[in-house]
Amino acid sequence: MTPGQRLSWRRALIVALDATVIVLALLAALAVRFPLPLAPADMAIFRQTALPMLAVYMAVFYFARVYRGVYYYSSFDDMLCIARGTMAAAALTALFVLFVRQGQFPRSVLLMQPAFAFLGVCGIRFGIRLGKTWLNMPRRYSGEETNVLLYGAGELGESLLRQMLKTPEANYRVVGFLDDDRSKWGLSLHGCPVLGGREALAAVLQRRQVDEIVIAIGVKRGELVRDVMERLRGLDLPKRPELKIAPSLTEMLSAPGRGPAARKVRPADLLNRGEVRLDEARIARQLRGKRVLVTGAGGTIGGELARQVLRFAPAELTLVEAHATSLFHIEGEARELAREAQVHAVLGDVRDRALVERVFAQHRPQVVLHAAAHKHVHQIEHNVQEGVLNNSLATHYLCDAAAKNGAEAFLLISTDKAVKPSSVMGATKRLAEIAATAPRSGGTRFMAVRFGNVLGSSGSVLPIFQKQLEQGGPLTVTHPDVRRFFMTVEEAVGLILQAVSLSKGGEIFVLKMGEPVRILDMAKSLILLSGLEPGKDVEIRFTGLKQGEKLNEELIEDPAASNPSEHSDILILRGENAAPADLDARLLDLEISARAADPAAVLRRLRELVPTFRPDAAHEATA
């Protein structure tokens, strides 16, 4: 019970039980200290001190908020609260009793009584919790129960098991746990045995009927999911168990109301990534009450930027997008999320310098997040001037407008393809980095964020595979050994906003992407997730690398030149993109060539501006 809280009959009962326990604790302490039966003098001590002691305890418990808890869910925190209240009450009681009785009081009683009181008060809470759990425990199964094997005997697994045990309908029957921690083997959790590690999977499935295997590990589960899928693939079982995932705390918070129910494995679960933690207070200081501009707002990254920015209560959000339908959808979504923020939708192309200057003059953005870009490598190989205009020159226009109009921060979304570029697309993004981090007058902080592929973005490999799988295959992979970095869009955008909060100006931030994923493995895993057999039910066909593509991408040219940032998942590069002194003049020459639709001249100038660019052999004759 806390100040201002209404005293219900249930809480009044708890207070009465506590009072009884405190008084009995004094009597028990006297009984331990003195021989039984207690002498009249000992009982006199009890009668004289019981009431004052009880008053002190009740007052301290009230102000220590001991009665604020929901007793059905008493926890370690509640026990600490009771311990603090008991110690404070015991100290005050001892001072009072020794003062009144002028030190003539058995001190051992003053030590034993709080210990007994603490045990009794805690016993009441946990007795209530045990009773609630016992009453909610299923007494019989419906005959349609699902036999579940949980993988992970940690906090997430224990939480999921408790939810399953408390389900009134009793739909789940947990046959046991698997866990890679050998110290847990042979132990049990709420009566469910830990049967071994992943090597024991085959034996467990042969001995026991298992309908579902639930991965109850919150982070870095991609390798485990793939391994379990491969092991299931090699087993001859009458019915193969369905593989599911217990959502992590982050997933449950991002989807309120979902709770801890297991879900089907998604492609993102195949990424062996740890949980990304953000300093949201620091991000909020950069965005709250600010005017924010997002370009390319209708794309995968731009749309997620708009959603996440709105979580931090900007004053205004301006969305710029060239595709009318995409802008229509993201504008509608943004207005639903906006609360008090004003949302402005601008249909237009960032290659239009006049439009860019008009948008900045009208909306005066303080934070600019530039996500608009042409990203498809093969497409830009055959449309060189369009790639230069959209990816490089539009960035230059936006940077000039940001500096001219006094924006506080400008962030460019870049790509791992900008590192030692072998494609025109990569070279145009490298030039965009150079333009964005070039020295400019004014107080605007310019920066770029470089990362790999976003899982499931439009036109990326995952939706292509999914469409091919729906059509029965084949799944097309360019090369057996091609690897790419992957990150979910939510992770990428969260770290992008974190980079804005870290920037002092002039940085290239590099997101730590983990280990690159072999595209062939992703194709096989996606087929297995569909309950089919790679090579048997669905063909995987190799088509060869396209013009401008690499086998492997890199995030940093020289790892020695990178420095850690204040966030563990973000690195900082400085000095990798030295801009020539005559950058503006050379960009003007590049613009003239691009608008003249002269791809040969564009390539020559692009190579001059990006010395690390090594174009495909098809371009060598003209570059």
**Whether residues 358 and 494 fall in one domain:** yes
**Whether residues 132 and 155 fall in one domain:** no
pLDDT at 101 > cutoff 70: no
pLDDT above 70 covers what percent of the chain? Answer: 90
Query: Which of 90, 108, 136 is the last residue before a domain boundary?
Result: 136
What's the structural domain count of the chain? 3
Residue 272 lies in a domain: no
Query: Which of 136, 156, 184 is the last residue before a domain boundary?
Result: 136
Rounded to 10°, the helix 300-310/489-502 angle is: 60
pLDDT at 138 > cutoff 70: no
**Whether residues 101 and 216 fall in one domain:** no
Residue 401 lies in a domain: yes
**Whether residues 196 and 60 fall in one domain:** no
Pairing of strands 445-450, 409-413: parallel
* Residue pLDDT, tens place only, 549-599: 889 998 888 887 888 999 989 999 877 778 888 999 999 999 999 999 999
Residue 623 lies in a domain: no
Residue 141 lies in a domain: no
Domain region containing 22: 9-136
**Whether residues 96 and 172 fall in one domain:** no
Residue 585 lies in a domain: yes
DSSP state of 388: I
Query: Which of 102, 136, 170 is the last residue before a domain boundary?
Result: 136
Residue 1 lies in a domain: no
pLDDT at 9 > cutoff 80: no
**Whether residues 410 and 300 fall in one domain:** yes
Rounded to 10°, the helix 519-529/461-470 angle is: 40
**Whether residues 204 and 55 fall in one domain:** no
Which pLDDT band, with edges at 50, 70 and 90, does 2 fall under?
A: very low
The mean of the pLDDT values for the chain is 85
Helices (H), 405-552: 424-437, 461-470, 489-502, 519-529
User: Which letter, b or e, does each residue of 360-370 get, where b requires 16 or more Cβ atoms within 10 Å of its Cβ?
Assistant: beebebbbbbb
**Whether residues 364 and 392 fall in one domain:** yes
Question: Of 525, 523, 529, which is closest to residue 543 (Cα–Cα)?
Answer: 523
In this structure, what CATH number is given to the domain that contains residue 238?
3.40.50.720
Rounded Cα distance, 298 and 306, in Å: 9
Residues 466, 406 contacting (CB under 8 angstroms): no
**Whether residues 236 and 325 fall in one domain:** no
* Residue pLDDT, tens place only, 392-429: 999 999 999 999 999 999 999 999 999 999 999 999 99
Residue 491 lies in a domain: yes
**Whether residues 155 and 37 fall in one domain:** no
Q: Supply the pTM of this predicted model.
A: 0.74
Residue 569 lies in a domain: yes
pLDDT at 533 > cutoff 90: no
**Whether residues 480 and 601 fall in one domain:** yes
Q: Is 8 exposed, middle or buried (0-12, 13-18, 19+ CB in 10 A)?
A: exposed
Rounded Cα distance, 499 and 248, in Å: 24
**Whether residues 368 and 431 fall in one domain:** yes
